[in-house]
Every structure is written in C-alpha cells, then in structure tokens.
Amino acid sequence: MSNLKNTENNSRVTAQSSEMICLDNISMCYRKQVSLLNLLFGSKDRKKQEFWALKDISFTLYKGETVGIIGRNGSGKSTLLMVCAKIYPPDKGKVIVNGKVQLLTLGLGFKNELTGRDNVLISSSLLGLSHSEIKERMPEIEDFADIGSFMDEPVRTYSSGMRSRLAFSIATAIQPDTLILDEVLTTGDVSFREKAINRMKNLQKLAKSAIIVSHNPNQLKQLCDRLIWIEQGRLIMEGEVKETLQEYRAFCKKPIKWMEENPSIQNTLNP
C-alpha cells in the first residue's frame, strides 16, 4: 500500500478554500498519576511518567468541509478535538483557528441545576449572541430539540439523548464557523438522528465547516468529505471515507496482521 497518510482525497473543497483549522505537527503530553509508593521507591525516570496522548499530528480543515475522525477507544480522538477547539494548548506544534468554533460533547458546558431554557440563554450568550438574537432563535431551538416540558426542568433530570438534542439544537441554530461534534450524533432516537444529519447537510450548503467523531460508518459516509484515522495518538491514515473505513476495519479485526502488512506503521504502534 502507498503512503497511508496521504491517500487520494476526492473532497469537494478546492485548494483555494480558506483554512479554518490548521494543526502543524502537534503533540500533547499528560503526566501519569503516580502512587506514593512508586514516588518514594519507583523509577525517577521522568519519561516513564509521561503519556503522549497525541504525537506529531498535522492536518487542515477547510471552509465548507466536513472531516470525520475515527479510532479505537483511548486513541486520542477527544483530546484532538479539545486541541482543535483551543481548549487544550498542545505541548508541541502550532494550532491556527479562524472564526468561531463550537465543541459539542456529551456532558460539556451545561449547568446541571439550571433548566434547559436557562442553559440556552447562557450557551448562546457565551457564543456572542445578544439578548434579542437569543429570544428570536429560542422557538427554533426548542422546536428542534423536541424535549417538551423538560425544556423548563433542570438539566440533571435529562437523559444523555435529551442533553445531546438540546446541545446540538443550540449549536446549529447559532451556526458557528466550525462545529465540532464528539459522538453527539450517536444519541437520541432514529428520527432525531435523521433530523440532525439533514441539518448538518444544510450547514454544509452554507459553507460551514465541521469535524465529526463517530463510530457510525453510515453517518461518516453521508456527511464527511474525508476521514482521519488516529491510533495511539498518531495519525495513521487520511483520505477518502470508504477506503479509510476499510483499512480501519481490517486493523481492528487483526491489528498485528495488519501492521505486518504495513511495516511503515509497525514501528510506531504497540497493539
């Protein structure tokens, strides 16, 4: 197989498109928790106490483009989204973000003791909307979320699907320049997921950009121009959606065999 990181991209986005998010060789390191016993008698090697959640990742998101991100649990997907949203600064590399970015991930941002309506007011204000703009868009948000009387109940009483509905409704009604979704489209019932996909397609028509983390192949095929696969914090493949999904599935099925067939990757990963 040719270079996995640079497979042919059939994106509808041209080379002249504006760059919305650009990651240049970024890396992110966490310090491992150390017990008192290990602290006193264990290894003093600082490198053994480090965990690199992301390592040397570079890619660019263009205006009007939707990029999907796949990877096994613990591969660094959520950390990567936090870097793209400029919530986490990388330890190495450079991040450039143009325009307003909204990150949606379950459990992030809502005040549990406040009602859904109050959280709409707070979230919208943080995204720069005036009181009159929020008032104007409230009926649309309430209608799209379709959570009924729970709109005036504390968010702590919501199911994960209801939280996802409301968060998605707020972000897409406000229409940031770049919308980042971390498994948000996988919750809720079938009818809501269909509504959400249709709204995402409408945002694409408005030249809005998006990054989507999802384990649902059909959603990725419907919405994404290209797909990025990361494993153990490293970018393994970036390219056409169907091809990248095919390689990812082959890897998940038999990681050792897959790496033996792709020796350029074998030295960087330890399945």
Average pLDDT of adjacent 10-residue blocks, the chain of 271 residues? 48 62 95 59 60 94 95 94 93 94 76 94 82 91 94 93 88 87 77 87 88 92 95 95 96 91 75 48
Count, residues in the chain = 271
pLDDT at 192: 85
Greatest alpha-carbon pair distance for the chain in Å reads 62
Tens digits of per-residue pLDDT, 49-97?
A: 688 999 999 999 999 999 999 999 999 999 999 999 999 999 999 999 9
pLDDT at 39: 53
Superfamily of domain 1-34+47-99+177-271: P-loop containing nucleotide triphosphate hydrolases (3.40.50.300)
pLDDT at 185: 77
- Whether the predicted model's global pTM rises above the 0.85 cut: no
pLDDT at 15: 44
The C-alpha angle 66, 70, 76, rounded to 5 degrees, equals 110
Helix axes 160-174, 116-126, angle to 10 degrees: 40
| Radius of gyration of the CA atoms of the chain, in A | 20
pLDDT at 207: 81
List Cα–Cα distances, 33 to 10, 36, 229, 235, 256, in angstroms. Answer: 43, 10, 28, 26, 29
* Structural domain spans, the chain: 1-34+47-99+177-271, 112-174
pLDDT at 173: 85
